[in-house]
Amino acid sequence: MILSSTGTLFGQEKQDSPETLRKQTDAKQVISSFFSGKKPDTTSTEKTHSTFSTLPSAGYNPSVGFSVGLTSTGGHVFGNPKTTTFSVVNANAYVSTMGMATFEIKNNIFTNDDVYNLQGSVQVGKTVALDYGVGTGHRVQGDGSFILNDLPLDNNSDVFPIKYSYIKFTERIYRKIVEHVYAGAGIVINKYSNIDDEHQTGPNINTHNYRYSMINRYPTSGYSANGWLVNFEYNSRDHINRTYSGMYADVVLRVNQKWLGSEHGAIQLKTELRKYWSLSNKNPEHVFSFWYWGCYLLGGRLPYLELPGTGSDQTNRLGRGYTIGRYKGTSFVYGEAEYRFPITQNKLISGVAFANVESASNSRSIGIGQFVEPGGGVGIRLLFNKYSRSNLCIDYGIGNYGSKGIFLGLNEVF
């Protein structure tokens, strides 16, 4: 429902050549020429340009009301452009007529020669999550309503809205070991409060969230999930916002501990792999890409709102074809393949086709891989800022049990 941005992970940035950029037309040029009455200048050799992009957003959902917001992304090189990766800062915010509000800012800063990298985010807000239960392999009555990005446009009596307030902070610092290889550590502090199960009407009519919290001895009104992180990464991608070639691999060990404020201790292992193959030297935008994302509970207990699932990646765009939180579990795995291709010669408009699968466990009767939920679709890309390769994404996705919808975003999904 609200446009979101990607590009908060790091890689070896390669600036497009002036000749390549002259052949491209982006939306900023089109908008500028519309108001000036002049045709877009494709012969400019300007050395200064803006890498900042902002898009308005709007949407409607019966659980949220009408909402409006802004999404922005920008960046700068803090060192030698030949040896220093492009640093990125993303921010987005929205407010709704039913009192929902969210603000978040994410940083991905590189020092000269990429010796150090700082990745972090701060998120504050009051929002709503739709609760479909834990694990894959089960249909919910009313599945099939149309989705606009995060949420369906129709209420469903068998889906339990959970309104809550949150404050989330995470920061990681990485040190380059050898070329493409980084190691680091960090901290995560997530606090949830004012949790309101709207369908929780009595002790004998319990929502998934209420039952899970009672079984795992979590307060039903609020809790914290705070811990430390140990990270190892490999990254050889040619660009952050829109990758043509290279690979990204990430392994994160997260340990929630009581002395940091968590109600219960927990150990999670998060693994991620992204691989990109450019299929043409003449048009490198022809790309086949693959994405794997997995999060596994190795020990302890997680609070309900921290269970990994659809939309649990850093930019909440994992699982096109389904709403955020449609599937979740104590452990969760996801895989996606996407083909990207240019449509217009000036690169203003491109297209994608994608297919994905996901699976979640419930630590009792359903294991990882026992039930697999497929999704897929097609999309259009509008080149928004050619200097930062940022683009507007409009995807139509379908999933199992009649799930379908339109998913919007700024920059590629992965």
Considering just the CA atoms, what is the radius of gyration of the chain in Å? 21
**pLDDT, tens only, 84-105:** 887 888 898 999 998 899 999 9
pLDDT classification of 13: cutoffs 50, 70, 90 = very low
The tokens for 353 are 């086709």
Are the beta carbons of 79 and 116 closer than 8 angstroms? Answer: no
Confidence check: pLDDT of 407 > 80: yes
Confidence check: pLDDT of 410 > 50: yes
Q: What is the CATH number of domain 18-410?
A: 2.40.160.50
Query: Which has more confidence, 134 or 156?
Result: 134
- Which range is least confidently modeled, 34-48, 318-332, 355-369? 34-48
**Mean pLDDT, to the nearest integer, of 137-150?**
79
CA distance linking residue 329 with residue 327, whole number of Å: 7
What DSSP designation does 226 have? E
Confidence check: pLDDT of 188 > 70: yes
**pLDDT, tens only, 54-82:** 778 877 777 788 889 888 877 788 888 88
CA distance linking residue 393 with residue 414, whole number of Å: 12
Query: Which has more confidence, 198 or 323?
Result: 323
Percentage of residues in the chain having pLDDT higher than 90 = 50
CB atoms closer than 10 angstroms to residue 279:
15
CA distance linking residue 395 with residue 341, whole number of Å: 14
CA distance linking residue 248 with residue 237, whole number of Å: 7
- Average pLDDT of the chain? 85
Percentage of residues in the chain having pLDDT higher than 70 = 86
Write down the domain spans for the chain: 18-410
Give the pairing of strands 349-360 and 146-148. unpaired
Confidence check: pLDDT of 212 > 60: yes
Are the beta carbons of 87 and 78 closer than 8 angstroms? Answer: yes
Confidence check: pLDDT of 350 > 90: yes
In this prediction, residue 76 carries a pLDDT of: 81
Q: Which amino acid is at 132?
A: Y
